[in-house]
Amino acid sequence: MGTKMDDVLDELVLEKGGLRLRTADIIFLLAVTAFAFLARFGLLSYVSGDYTSFLSEWFDTLKNAGGLAGIGLDIGDYTPPYLYILALLTYLPVGSLYSIKLVSCLFDFLLAVFAAKTVFCLSGSRAKSILAYTLVLFCPTVVLNGSAWAQCDAVFTFFLLLSFYSALKSRPWRVCLFFGIAFAFKLQAVFFAPLLLFLLLRGMLRVRHLLLIPLVYFISIIPAWIAGRGLFDLLTIYIGQAGQYRNLSKNAPNLWSFLASVQNSGLSLFAVMLAGAAAAFLLYLLWDKCRRVTPDALLSAALAFLLLIPFLLPHMHERYFFPADLFSILYAVNRPRRFIVPLLTVGASAAAYLPFLFGQQPVALTTAAVLMGAALLLVLADLLYPLFAPAKKGQASS
C-alpha cells in the first residue's frame, strides 16, 4: 500500500512528459518564492478577529487537553481534520498565531505548484505555468487569507485543485479521493460538486467512484469518534453550520449583498432553491449541448460553478469565493484574452476582505458584487456560446 501511494505522489509531482525547467527558470522561481515568503512574513504578526475569537481558543483547549488527546472534545464548528492539524501544532515550540498561519502558508505554496502543473497540462506552455505559479503566490486574497487572517481556505482548495487535475488526467478514483478530502475539511467544497456530476453524466466517473467521497469523510472522523466525540455529532457538523447565520449575506460580494442585513427565512429558502435550480440548469445545458469535453471546457465549467453557486446562495462569507479566485487565475493564464476575469473576481473578493481585516472599505460591497457578477457572466458566456453558436460550413456541431 505504501509503495502504491508513493507511486501516486511521484506521478503527481514528477510525471512523465511533465514540466521541465531550465536553470534560468529555476533561479526566477526561487526568487519569486523568496519574495512571496517575505510578503507573508510581514503579515504573520497580524492578529485577526477570527484568531482571537476562535482559533486561539481552540488551540489552547487542545493544548490543555494534551494535544491529540483532546481531539474527542466538542471544539468549535470545524470538522475533525483541521482540529487534528491544530492538535499536532500544539507540540511545536512555536506560538499558536505563527504555527497556524504557517500551515496555511505552506498550502499557499502547494497551491502555486499545482496551479503551474495544471496550466502546463492545459496549455503545454512552460511560460504560462511559471506565470500561474507567480500569480497564485501574489494573489491578494491568497496572501491575506492565510498570513493575515489565519484562515485555512488554501487547504481545502488545494485538494479541489488536485481533484480537477486528476479529472484532466482521467483518474476517476483520484478525482473523488481528493474531492472527499476537500469536503472533509470544508463544506464549501460542494461548490465544486456539480462538476463531478457532469463527469458522471458524461461517463467520465461512475457511481462507484462517487461512493469514495462519503467513505473518505467517514474515515476522517474516526479518530475523533474513537477519542470520545459522538458519532451523530460528527456526522451532522455541516448541518449545524448551515443554520448558523441569519443575514442574507455575511460580507460576501454576491447577489444578496444588496439585502445583506435582511433576516428572512422565506427569502433564504428562495435563495437556496434559486442557486440549486441555476446550478442544475447549467448542468443540464452542459450535458445536453456539450458533445466533446475538452480540458478548456472543464476549466470553464469548474470556474462557472465556483462563481455561480456562492453568488446566488444566501449566508455566504467573503472567503467563500477563494476557490473561484484561484481557478480564475488558471482560467486567465490559459486564456489570456480573459485576464479581466481574475481582476474582477479577485478584486471583488479583496474588497470584501478589507473591511473585516483592516477596517477600510474603499469599495462598497454592492459594487464588489457587481464586479463578481460581471466575472460570472463573462465565464458563462465563454462556456455556453460555443454550445449554441451555429456550426461553420463543413464543420460538425460541437
How does pLDDT run across 102-158, given as a tens digit for each residue? 999 999 999 999 999 999 999 999 999 999 999 999 999 999 999 999 999 999 999
Block residue for cell numbers 455566504? 316
> pLDDT value at position 265?
86
Is residue 133 within 8 Å of 116, Cβ to Cβ?
yes
pLDDT of the residue at 64: 95
Residue 363 CA neighbour count, 13 Å, CB half = 21
In this structure, the number of other CB atoms found within 10 A of the CB of residue 103 comes to 19
Burial category of 10 from C-beta neighbours within 10 Å (exposed 0-12, middle 13-18, buried 19 and up): exposed
Residue by residue, DSSP assigns 85-128 as HHHHHTTSSS-HHHHHHHHHHHHHHHHHHHHHHHHHHHH--HHH
The answer to whether 157 and 323 are in contact (CB under 8 A) is yes
Q: How many residues does the chain have?
A: 398
What stretches of 192-333 adopt beta strand conformation (E)? Answer: 249-250, 316-317
Q: Is the Cβ–Cβ distance between 49 and 356 less than 8 Å?
A: yes
DSSP 251: B
- Res 226: pLDDT: 96
What is the pLDDT, as a whole number, of residue 366? 96
First to last CA, the chain: 42
Is-contact 334 358, C-beta < 8 A? no
* DSSP symbols for 215-227: HHHHHHHHHHHHT
Provide the 8-state DSSP code for 249. E
pLDDT attached to residue 390: 66
Closest CA to 198 of 122, 334, 278, 302: 302
The pLDDT, as a whole number, for residue 15 is 53
What pLDDT, on a 0 to 100 scale, did the predictor assign at position 396? 44
Taking the C-alpha atoms of residue 35 and residue 394, their distance in angstroms, rounded to an integer, is 52
> Grid coordinates standing for 352?
470584501
Stretches in the chain below the pLDDT threshold 70: 1-18, 243-244, 389-398
